[in-house]
Structure 1
Amino acid sequence: MHHLTLTPEDNATLSPVLAELAKSYDTIEDPELILRAPVFARQLPVHVLEFLEEFRIGEPSALCLISGLDVDEAELGATPEHWRDSQYGSPAFVQELFFLLCGSALGDVFGWSTQQDGRIMHDVLPIKGHEHYELGSNSLQHLSWHTEDAFHPCRGDYVALMCLKNPDAVETVVCDAADLDWSQVDVEALFEAEFTQMPDNSHQPENTAESTGDAVVDRLRARSFALIQSWNERPVKRPVLSGDRENPYMALDPYHMQTEGWSERSLRAFEGLCAQIESEMRGVSLRPGDVVFIDNFRAVHGRKSFRARYDGSDRWLKRLNITRNLRGSRAWRPAPHDRIIY
C-alpha cells in the first residue's frame, strides 16, 4: 500500500487553507468549487502533491492511503439517516474540502445522473430498509467485490473513500491485481470481448429521486435510465482484461454478470480469475481521517457485513469518482465543463 501519514504540522498548514475555502462556499456540490478545485489543490503541502503524483504516474500500488487528517467526531454529530440529508450545512465540510482537493490532484472528479441525484461527492452509510440490498448502503449483507461501475465505458480511474466514522472497524476488502499469479490465469481468453457486464443496482431509477424539477436534466436522466435498461435487456459483450498482458487492468463485477451463453473457455477463464482474486482479498479498516484512493483499473473492492445501529453512531464515509480522461465521456455530458455523466 502507498501510504502517507499527515503530521500535526501538516494539519496546522491545512487548517487555514480549508477554513478560508469553507467561507467561500456552502456545499461541496457548488459547480464553481468543483471547477476550481484543481487550482485550489496546489495549496496542499508539496509532499502531499508529490505523494499523489507518484501514485498516479508510477502505479506503485493499487491502494493509496492518506491518514491523520483531523476529524472531531463530536463536531460531526449524528450519522445521517440517508444520503439526501447531507448536502447543505455539512458538519464535515472541511474534511470534504480536503478530500476534494486530493482527488482533484489525481484527476477530474465526476458524478452520475443516475446515482445519488447526480451529486459529485456521495455518502456511504447504512440506510434502514437496505440491509440486504446489493448497494453500498446495505449492512447485514456483504457488499460483493467489484470494479466500480464496471459495466460503463466511462468508469472512473479511481474510486476514493474518506472515513468520518467507523466505530465497528468494518473492513473494506480489496484485491490488488499485482498480487495475482497471472501465469495461472487464461489471460488471452479474458482479453476477448466475450463477457457481459450488467448495470449495477445503484444506477437503477428506484434509488434516485423521480424528478429534479429541471426539465432538461430530467430529460437527460431519463435517457440515461433508458440506456441502462437497454443494457440490461441486451447486454454488451466486453473484455474483462485490458492493457498490458503481463500486468493487465481489470473490469469485472461478478454479482452483476450473466454467464449464460459464454463459451466453456470464457467461463473457465473467468472462474479462474475470480478464484485468484478471492484468494488474495485483503481487509482494510479505515479510521476517521483516512482517505483511500483505489485504482479502479488495478483493484476490485467490496465491504464486509456489519450490524447497523441507526442511532447516529454508524459508519459514515464519503466517496468520489475520479477520471484521468474527462474528454472520454464528452458524448455523455451536456457541456465540456459539466462533471455529470448522463
Structure 2
Amino acid sequence: MIKEYIVSSTERHSIWELAKEIFTHTSDHSDKTIFSNSLIVEAQLELKIREELYRLSRTGEYDAIIFRQLVDNSLIDIETPNKVRIRRNIDYIFEIIPLLLMSATGFPIAYEVQHNGRIINDVLPVEEFKNIDNSTAGVAKRFNLHTEDAYHNFPPDFIGLFCIRNNEKAATLVSILSDNIFTDKDYSSLFEKLFINQANAGSAQNYNYEVKRAILFGQKSKPNIRLNTARLPQIDNKQISSLLSSFVDILNENSQRVVLQSGDMIIMNNLRCVHGRDAFETDFSVEKRWLLRVLSRRDIAECLVEPFNVNVLL
C-alpha cells in the first residue's frame, strides 16, 4: 500500500532546522561530509516520521510513503537548472532533507557509472533530449514502469524522489506487487534465472548486462521484483514471453498516479514497487519540473567489493 502522511507545521519546522544545522556547521559540503553529520542528526527526526519510515523500511507495512508538505515551498526559491548538475557539493539546505530521510531507510548510495557517482541526482526535463524514450530528460515520452537500476548487480532497496517544483503536475506512476496479481496465473517461470535487464538510455555505460536473473525472487507468497518494462527482456520461449507480457499488462493496470507538489517527497520500496512517469508538456524554463533522487540500501557488505563501484556514504 501507499501511505500518505501530511507533515505538520511543527514537524516541518523541525526538519528544516535539522537540515539548517547540518548545512551551517559543515564547512565541506561534499556528499560524504554532509551525510556523516546527517547520520548523527537523523535520530532527532520527529518520532512520528521515524515511525513511518520504520514501517516502510523494516516491517514492510507500507510499500511506499508520500510525505506531503515536507518543506514549506516558499523556502524553495531557486531556479531549475537547465541541465543535470554534475557538481559533487550540496549547495542548498533543502538538498539535505531527502538525504536525511533516506538515511533512516538504509545507507544512501550512488553508482559511479551514473551522474559521476553523485549521491543526490537531478531529475529534470532537458529540451535537446525531450524525445528520448524512457529517460528522465525525455519528457515528451512516457517513462515505462521499472525497478530502479534493475540492470545493476546491487540495485537500491529504496528510492526517494523529493519535489522541488512540478508546475506541470506531471504524474509519477507507481505499481505495487500486490498478492492478487498471482491468483489467476502461474508465474513460477518468472522466478527462473532467464531474463536480462538492460539499462535505459543514459543510465550507465561500460556495464555488463549479460547476466540472467529472475524477475521475481524471494518468498513466493510475497515476492520481490526486478524488472525494466521499458526495455523488456527478450525470451525465445514464446510461452514465457507471453506470460511476461501479461504480467506487465497487470502492472500497468494496477499503476497509481502520484502528483508531487513542491515540498513533497515519495519514498518507494524498490523491491516491491515499479515506477515510471507520464509524458508531459513543459516550456523548459527556469520554472520547469525538478525532482531530487536519492537511493539507499540496507545491506552494503557486497557493494564494497562490486567491480563497478557503488558509492556508499559511510
TM-score strictly above 0.5: yes
1:63, CA displacement in angstroms?
1.2
Give me the whole-angstrom Cα distance separating, in 2, the residues matched to 1:335 and 1:178.
33
- Alignment partner, residue 220 of structure 1: none
Is 1:125 the equivalent of 2:124?
yes
Q: Could you tell me the TM-score, scaled by structure 2's length? A: 0.91
- Alignment partner, residue 232 of structure 2: 257
Give me the whole-angstrom Cα distance separating, in 2, the residues matched to 1:117 and 1:200.
17
Is 1:156 the equivalent of 2:156?
yes
Aligned 8 A contact 1:28 1:97 in 2: no
Aligned 8 A contact 2:30 2:90 in 1: no
Aligned 8 A contact 2:179 2:222 in 1: no
**Which deviates more, 57-66 or 28-37?**
28-37
Residues 89, 238 of structure 1: alpha-carbon distance in 2 compared, 3 angstrom cutoff: closer
Deviations 1:235-264 (A, max 9, x none): 221100011112211111022234143x23
- Alignment partner, residue 39 of structure 1: 40
Amino acid in structure 2 at the alignment position of 1:109: P
Aligned 8 A contact 2:86 2:118 in 1: no
Deviations 1:73-116 (A, max 9, x none): 575231100112776573xx222212111100010000111111
Residue 318 of structure 1 aligns to a residue in which SS? Answer: strand
1:11, CA displacement in angstroms?
2.1
Residues 179, 246 of structure 1: alpha-carbon distance in 2 compared, 3 angstrom cutoff: closer
Is 1:279 the equivalent of 2:253?
yes
1:268, CA displacement in angstroms?
2.3
Amino acid in structure 2 at the alignment position of 1:163: C
Residues 272, 27 of structure 1: alpha-carbon distance in 2 compared, 3 angstrom cutoff: farther
Residues 80, 30 of structure 1: alpha-carbon distance in 2 compared, 3 angstrom cutoff: same
1:173, CA displacement in angstroms?
0.6
1:26, CA displacement in angstroms?
6.0
Aligned 8 A contact 2:177 2:273 in 1: yes
Amino acid in structure 2 at the alignment position of 1:47: K
**Which deviates more, 25-34 or 107-116?**
25-34
Is 1:291 the equivalent of 2:265?
yes
- Alignment partner, residue 222 of structure 1: none
Unpaired segments ≥5 residues, structure 1: 206-224
Unpaired segments ≥5 residues, structure 2: none
Give me the whole-angstrom Cα distance separating, in 1, the residues matched to 2:251 and 2:27.
42
Aligned 8 A contact 1:110 1:120 in 2: yes
- Alignment partner, residue 332 of structure 1: 306
**Which deviates more, 18-27 or 104-113?**
18-27
Is 1:203 the equivalent of 2:176?
no
Give me the whole-angstrom Cα distance separating, in 2, the residues matched to 1:327 and 1:288.
35
Give me the whole-angstrom Cα distance separating, in 2, the residues matched to 1:265 and 1:243.
23
1:1-342 correspondence to structure 2 within 5 Å: 1-25=2-26, 29-73=30-74, 75-84=76-85, 88=89, 90=91, 93-133=92-132, 134-178=134-178, 180-205=180-205, 225=206, 228=207, 230-231=208-209, 235-261=210-236, 263-332=237-306, 339=312
Aligned 8 A contact 2:166 2:260 in 1: yes
1:22, CA displacement in angstroms?
1.3
Residues 196, 144 of structure 1: alpha-carbon distance in 2 compared, 3 angstrom cutoff: same
Percent of aligned pairs with the same residue? Answer: 21
Residue 174 of structure 1 aligns to a residue in which SS? Answer: strand
Residues 178, 249 of structure 1: alpha-carbon distance in 2 compared, 3 angstrom cutoff: same
Q: Could you tell me the TM-score, scaled by structure 1's length? A: 0.84
Residue 4 of structure 1 aligns to a residue in which SS? Answer: strand
Residues 175, 101 of structure 1: alpha-carbon distance in 2 compared, 3 angstrom cutoff: same
Residues 314, 335 of structure 1: alpha-carbon distance in 2 compared, 3 angstrom cutoff: closer
If each structure's helix is expressed as a fraction of its own residues, which one has the higher value? 1
Aligned 8 A contact 1:5 1:67 in 2: yes
Give me the whole-angstrom Cα distance separating, in 2, the residues matched to 1:279 and 1:62.
17
Amino acid in structure 2 at the alignment position of 1:255: A
Amino acid in structure 2 at the alignment position of 1:250: I
Give me the whole-angstrom Cα distance separating, in 1, the residues matched to 2:229 and 2:308.
32
Deviations 1:43-86 (A, max 9, x none): 11111111111111221232111112233357523110011277
